[in-house]
Amino acid sequence: MTVEIEGIVLHLAHPDELAVEWVGQEELMRQLLAAWMVVHEQDLPMNPRLLGKPGVGKTTLAYAAGRRMGRDVYILQATLDTRPEDLLVTPVIEGDGSLRYVASPLVTAMIRGGVAILDEGNRMSEKSWASLAPLLDNRRYVESIVAGIKIKAHANFRLVATMNDDASTFELPEYIHSRLQPQIFIDFPERDEEYHILRENLPFAEDRILNYVTDFLQLAHAADERYTARDGINVARFAIKLKSLATQKIHESEALETAILEVLGEEALRYARKDRPTRS
């Protein structure tokens, strides 16, 4: 699909199609949708950021919120190497030597009125963030130096940035910090919610395995470990595969402990208590 802006033809990105569902913590969904609301003709949508440990569901929440609004969702993965042109418009040399201008997922969302998720945004440098400054205030546009055009955001365009609270990130410049509000913090879910997250992602798993992994995660959360539902999904999935190939020497509990060891390391075994009660 293409559009023409100021005489420049832009090739647009495709929306992301993910088979995910947000389970539990509806208050977080309410806060995100509220930030995107427009309550008056002079009002503007906000640009929230979702903060939390890796694997707690920030991207899932953002995607599910966009789909709940009935919008196409576009995900742009930020990295340490993300350049301004990666965020906006990238020139591509065609076979005949001509240039083709390719719009990023973010710019495509701007043009089509979709939702843009800037994933792990605090891995980007200030130079990259600076190219988005006019988009994040009441101007709501970006300027592509490469293509020599100004691109205005559709009225239905919404943006959210996800950010991990780890050390391998840049500090946000203050002028960007003030533009990415509100901050919505995603913490570990309660036990019932965590169980349902595992069940949603592993509908084929036996209850015993899901309960074991849920209890493991809850013990780890209580000790302020960084293990998340994503880790639990990987542990349970690997344990199921190990169990399916089990011999007489390997049974379910051994498969689970092996999965914890191989996925998370030996330190995680302290939360795999053999003497804790087993739920049916």
- What confidence score (pLDDT) does residue 193 get? 92
Which tokens sit at 109? 């969302």
Distance of CA 222 to the CA centre of its chain: 24
Average pLDDT of 132-144?
A: 96
The β-bridge partners of 99 are 93
In angstroms, the CA 102 to CA 9 distance is 9
Confidence of residue 276 (pLDDT cuts 50, 70, 90): very low
Average pLDDT of 28-35?
A: 97
Position with higher pLDDT, 231 vs 246: 231
Ranges 38-52, 145-159, 205-219, 245-259: which has the least confidence? 245-259
- By the 10 Å C-beta count (0-12 exposed, 13-18 middle, 19+ buried), 20 is classed as middle
Confidence of residue 275 (pLDDT cuts 50, 70, 90): very low
Report the share of the chain in percent with pLDDT over 90: 80
Q: Using DSSP bridges, classify how beta strands 158-164 and 49-52 pair: parallel, antiparallel or unpaired.
A: parallel
The β-bridge partners of 102 are 11, 90
User: DSSP alpha helices (H): ranges in 82-206?
Assistant: 84-87, 105-112, 126-130, 174-177, 191-201
Ranges 104-118, 175-189, 232-246, 264-278: which has the least confidence? 264-278
Confidence of residue 277 (pLDDT cuts 50, 70, 90): very low
pTM of the predicted model as reported, rounded to 2 decimal places? 0.87
Average pLDDT of 201-225?
A: 94
- What confidence score (pLDDT) does residue 244 get? 87
- What confidence score (pLDDT) does residue 47 get? 98
Q: How many residues does the chain have?
A: 280
- What confidence score (pLDDT) does residue 274 get? 56
* C-alpha dihedral sign at 52, 72, 25, 239: negative
Task: Output phi, psi for 106, to 5 deg.
Answer: -65, -50
